[in-house]
């Protein structure tokens, strides 16, 4: 097993190092937490998944993964459970993972924060499920027996061994330095996340509407979000470019395991054209058609290679410099069941983000936890349009889920 790593970051990983981007996966817990058991579980998971015990180190050719000698402790504090990164200190030169617990009485937010260079959402959720399983075993006095995993591989390596390369390979872009090496790195940004969560009945209604209309749930949600964004921005739909990521694991042959790669993703840009009816179903169908076509011709599988391995015009269709407005959405899918011990209820999952950015943009994160779909609106704190954006989204979702 590769414990130290010391391999260079690939271009698709390096972009997250430049931003020092951490993504948080925060579980809302009700009941008594055992801090010692949680610390033991986190240490076991760090031992089993070596990427969690890594840090970044500067090299002449760019950042590399290195083993962190520090045994980072779980941090506990009192505060607002809807602010899961309260008080956390993240530094990619020290550690690429952290566990932060925020208490409010018998409620708590338990947030696993992972640097985006080592894990995308499916990867992180697999680790999250393992963390809670270990915690439950420790509380119940069951010996831990978590299998060890190899260091995850880059998207570039996984695609290359399957014969997938950039469409017109060119010279790789010049490596970007780590933020600490830059003269004036952007300030850290912690996005304020407000979640609009559907009831179980509304979630069922959304699924039934998608099935009846022969459109994917993701497509139907995407169309709903685009309609809400057009309304809040006062722009025609055709002025919006929709950006979303595709989990490639099951679209590769052979398939890739959840933690086998760091970020096994493709990137897609979509625009509503004049021939598409301005309703959520029609937009969702058009998104689905484009997605299927891109997976068939391989353009989605190689999309990030085309962006980061050659300076090709049009490789990044969602470039904010080339379009009036970009709408971004990440869909984490259905979260697998998480096993808590008796006396503890896990009631929700929400996202968090901590990054360095010159311009902090907003975006959506979607996940389904315990039969209820949640839509996270991750915007810079204090954004004056956020309350109206939530109202517009609620109204558009109401039209979709009530029209049965």
pLDDT in tens, 369-383: 999 999 999 988 778
What is the C-alpha to C-alpha distance for residues 392 and 120, in angstroms, rounded to an integer? Answer: 29
Local structure of 336: helix, strand or coil: coil
> Lowest-pLDDT range, 71-75, 79-83, 183-187, 336-340?
183-187
The confidence band for 267, taking pLDDT boundaries of 50, 70 and 90, is very high
Tally Cβ neighbours within 10 Å of residue 337.
11
Q: Check if the beta carbon of residue 325 is closer than 8 Å to that of residue 229.
A: yes
Q: Check if the beta carbon of residue 397 is closer than 8 Å to that of residue 201.
A: no
Instruction: Answer whether residue 264 shows pLDDT above 50.
Output: yes
Dig out the tokens for 181 from the structure: 């090496």
Dig out the tokens for 218 from the structure: 């993701």
Cite the DSSP H helix spans in 89-199: 121-139, 155-160
**Per-residue confidence (pLDDT) for residue 3, from 0 to 100:** 42
**Per-residue confidence (pLDDT) for residue 313, from 0 to 100:** 52
Instruction: Answer whether residue 43 shows pLDDT above 90.
Output: yes
> Lowest-pLDDT range, 64-68, 210-214, 305-309, 391-395?
305-309
Closest alpha carbon to 54 in 4, 90, 19: 4
Closest alpha carbon to 352 in 55, 128, 95, 177: 128
**Per-residue confidence (pLDDT) for residue 322, from 0 to 100:** 59
- Cα distances (Å, whole numbers) of residue 351 to 61, 85, 124, 368: 33, 10, 12, 12
* Chain mean pLDDT for the chain: 90
Q: Which domains are seen in the chain, by residue range?
A: 11-181 (3.30.559.10), 188-334+361-402 (3.30.559.30)
Question: With pLDDT > 70 as the criterion, what percentage of the chain qualifies?
Answer: 89
Dig out the tokens for 8 from the structure: 């260079």
**Per-residue confidence (pLDDT) for residue 321, from 0 to 100:** 59
136-186 pLDDT tens trace: 999 999 999 999 999 999 999 999 999 999 875 554 454 556 655 444 567
> Lowest-pLDDT range, 26-30, 68-72, 235-239, 304-308?
68-72
H or E element at residue 374? strand 372-379
Q: Check if the beta carbon of residue 350 is closer than 8 Å to that of residue 85.
A: no
Please, which residues have CB within 8 angstroms of residue 283's CB and are 6 or more apart in sequence? 219, 222, 223, 226, 227, 237, 272, 276, 277
H or E element at residue 101? strand 97-104
Instruction: Answer whether residue 2 shows pLDDT above 70.
Output: no
- Let me know the angle formed at the C-alpha of 124 by 121 and 129, rounded to the nearest 5 degrees: 120
What is the C-alpha to C-alpha distance for residues 125 and 330, in angstroms, rounded to an integer? Answer: 14
- Let me know the angle formed at the C-alpha of 121 by 388 and 84, rounded to the nearest 5 degrees: 55
Local structure of 306: helix, strand or coil: helix
Spatial strand order of the sheet with 22-31 comes to: 75-78, 97-104, 107-115, 22-31, 344-356, 188-190
The confidence band for 28, taking pLDDT boundaries of 50, 70 and 90, is very high
Q: Check if the beta carbon of residue 352 is closer than 8 Å to that of residue 100.
A: no
More confident residue, 248 or 401: 248
Instruction: Answer whether residue 16 shows pLDDT above 70.
Output: yes
The confidence band for 4, taking pLDDT boundaries of 50, 70 and 90, is very low
What is the C-alpha to C-alpha distance for residues 180 and 92, in angstroms, rounded to an integer? Answer: 10
Q: β-strand 75-78 against 97-104: which pairing, if any?
A: parallel
Closest alpha carbon to 221 in 396, 402, 404, 25: 396
The confidence band for 66, taking pLDDT boundaries of 50, 70 and 90, is very high
């Amino acid at each position: 097993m590769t414990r130290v790593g010391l391999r260079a970051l690939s271009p698709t990983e390096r972009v997250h190092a430049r931003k020092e981007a951490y993504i948080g996966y925060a579980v809302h817990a009700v009941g008594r937490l055992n801090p010692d058991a949680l610390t033991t579980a986190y240490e076991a998971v760090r031992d089993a998944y070596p990427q969690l015990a890594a840090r970044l180190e500067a090299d002449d050719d760019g950042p590399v993964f290195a083993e962190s000698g520090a045994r980072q402790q779980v941090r506990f504090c009192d505060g607002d459970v809807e602010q899961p990164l309260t008080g956390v200190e993240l530094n990619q030169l020290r550690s690429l993972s952290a566990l932060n617990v925020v208490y409010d009485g018998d409620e708590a937010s338990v947030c696993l924060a992972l640097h985006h260079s080592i894990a995308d959402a499916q990867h992180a959720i697999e680790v999250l499920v393992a963390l809670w399983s270990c915690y439950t075993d420790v509380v119940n006095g069951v010996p831990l027996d978590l299998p060890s995993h190899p260091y995850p591989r880059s998207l570039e390596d996984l695609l290359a061994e399957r014969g997938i390369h950039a469409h017109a390979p060119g010279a790789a872009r010049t490596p970007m330095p780590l933020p600490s090496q830059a003269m004036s790195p952007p300030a850290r940004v912690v996005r304020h996340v407000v979640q609009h969560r559907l009831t179980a009945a509304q979630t069922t209604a959304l699924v039934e509407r998608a099935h009846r209309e022969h459109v994917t749930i993701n497509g139907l949600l995407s169309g709903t979000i685009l309609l809400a964004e057009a309304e809040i921005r006062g722009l025609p739909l055709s002025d919006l470019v929709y950006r979303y990521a595709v989990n490639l694991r099951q679209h590769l042959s052979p398939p890739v395991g959840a933690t086998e790669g760091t970020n096994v993703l493709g990137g897609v840009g979509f625009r509503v054209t004049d021939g598409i009816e301005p309703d959520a179903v029609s937009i969702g169908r058009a998104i689905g058609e484009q997605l299927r076509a891109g997976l068939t011709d391989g353009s989605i599988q190689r999309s990030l290679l085309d962006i980061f391995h050659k300076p090709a015009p049009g490789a990044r269709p969602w470039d904010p410099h080339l379009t009036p407005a970009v709408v971004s959405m990440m869909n984490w899918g259905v979260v697998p069941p998480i096993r808590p011990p008796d006396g503890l209820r896990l009631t929700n999952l929400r996202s968090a983000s901590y990054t360095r950015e010159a311009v902090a943009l907003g975006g959506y994160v979607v996940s389904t936890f315990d039969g209820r779909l949640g839509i996270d609106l991750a915007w810079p704190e204090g954004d004056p349009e956020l309350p109206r954006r939530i109202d517009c989204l609620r109204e558009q979702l109401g039209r979709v889920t009530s029209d049965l």
